[in-house]
Amino acid sequence: MRDQRAGESSPDGRPAQRFAEQLRTLRSAAGDPSFRKMAGRSGRISHTTLHEAAAGTRFPSWETTREFVRACEADEALWRGRWEEAQRPVTAARPSGDGDPAPVVAASAPEEQGVVRVVEHPGAEDRVATTRRRRLPWLNIAAVVLVLVVAVAAVLGATVRGRSGADGSSAPTVSPSPTASPSATAFSDSLIPGDSSRFVADVTIPDGTQVKVNAQFDKVWALANVGKVDWHNRYLARMDPAADGAGCRTPDRVPIGDTPPGEQVMIRVRVTAPSRPGRCWVSWKMVDEAGREYFPTRRPVYFMVTVTA
């Protein structure tokens, strides 16, 4: 499969337009996040490139498609198949046994789905045979199942994050945020059977908040223990090394208050903004005293701020 790059336009525009319509549907199911917010979630691609992919002006590369799908928290493997299918080339003519070109099967336009046109080789009597085929019932069933899967994924992606104050004081209950960031994911793949966590909300400093250079602020997340295991001696550990003046400065890890199943906890970290303008993004994972991750395959919680002069 040729990896068609984002800078290439499709020959007739139709593959790019059809695929762009699928991307727009995915983005809508994810709550219509802005392209700038999607670019912030990715950290690897610009909002302009994401916008072009959804507009259908050119066929996106797999790298662009992958970051688009990740920003919408969809299944990468499923969308890899869709991306390959969308750019599948038209079957080319090939010589037949007697040296004459074999008939060419032309790709159907969107409004001609279910129609195949067979064009005879030159010299033969001109004719175009059009045959309409019935779609198999299982294709319609598969389409319905796919829509349901996307809808359920969007609902699950809009839930959960949390923790109590470092001083052990009781934490207020926080309702799930309707605009939760992409780390709002149920952590259900713990190494401990029955252990599970859910992100509830960004209690303070929503993603994209503007702060001044060298400013200090407290970032607070709310997590919920939705499993069957008591949380004891757990921490949020910073995944990237503590930065110098070029990035946000934070502790390497912060404690998570003891949290029994069914309760929420607030997690607070003191942050010092960098000394020059820019964007600051720091991610965190739940670990034990030895630094072992409890949910190693899940995406981290994080904060992202814009630093201004």
Segment 118-122 mean pLDDT: 38
Owner of token pair 């906890």: 265
140 shares a domain with 27: no
**247 and 301 part of one domain:** yes
Q: Which of 227, 230, 249 is nearest to 305 (CA)?
A: 249
CATH code where residue 36 lies = 1.10.260.40
Q: Are residues 74 and 122 in the same domain?
A: no
Q: How many CA atoms lie within 13 A of 290 on its CB side?
A: 2
Query: Do residues 61 and 124 share a domain?
Result: no
**Are residues 25 and 109 located together in one domain of the fold?**
no
What tens digit of pLDDT does each residue of 6-59 get? 444 444 558 888 999 999 999 998 889 999 888 888 888 888 888 888 998 889
- pLDDT of the residue at 43: 83
How is residue 286 annotated by DSSP?
E
Q: Is residue 165 part of a domain?
A: no
**Residues 240 and 283 occupy one common structural domain:** yes
Shared-domain flag, residues 238 and 296 = yes
Task: Say if 176 falls within a structural domain.
Answer: no
Please report the pLDDT score of residue 26 as a whole number.
92
Residue 127 domain-assigned? yes
At 191, the pLDDT band (50, 70, 90 cuts) reads confident
- For residues 93 and 118, is the Cβ–Cβ distance under 8 A? no
Q: Which of 38, 66, 86 is the last residue of a domain?
A: 86
Query: How many residues would you count in the chain?
Result: 309
In this structure, are residues 298 and 199 in contact, taking their beta carbons and an 8 Å threshold?
A: no
**Do 29 and 96 have their domain in common?**
no
CATH number at residue 296: 2.60.40.10
Q: What is the per-residue pLDDT for 147?
A: 58
Answer yes or no: do 71 and 135 share one domain.
no
Same domain, 107 and 68: no
Provide mean pLDDT across the span 264-271.
Answer: 95
Q: What is the pLDDT of residue 302?
A: 92
Same domain, 78 and 96: no
Residue of 179, 201, 217, 209 lying closest to 279 (CA atoms): 209
Residues 206 and 304 placed together within one structural domain of the fold: yes
CB 113 within 8 A of CB 140: no
**Does residue 171 form part of some domain?**
no
Give the range of the structural domain holding residue 25, as residue numbers without chain letter.
14-86
Q: Of 32, 61, 86, which marks where a domain is finished?
A: 86
**Residue 179 falls within a domain, yes or no?**
no
Out of 153, 171, 204, a domain closes at 153
Q: Is residue 161 part of a domain?
A: no
Q: Is residue 123 pLDDT above 90, yes or no?
A: no
Residue 167 lies in a domain: no
Domain count of the fold of the chain: 3
Q: Quick one: pLDDT at residue 156?
A: 54
* pLDDT of 259 higher than 70: yes
25 belongs to a structural domain: yes
Confidence (pTM): 0.42
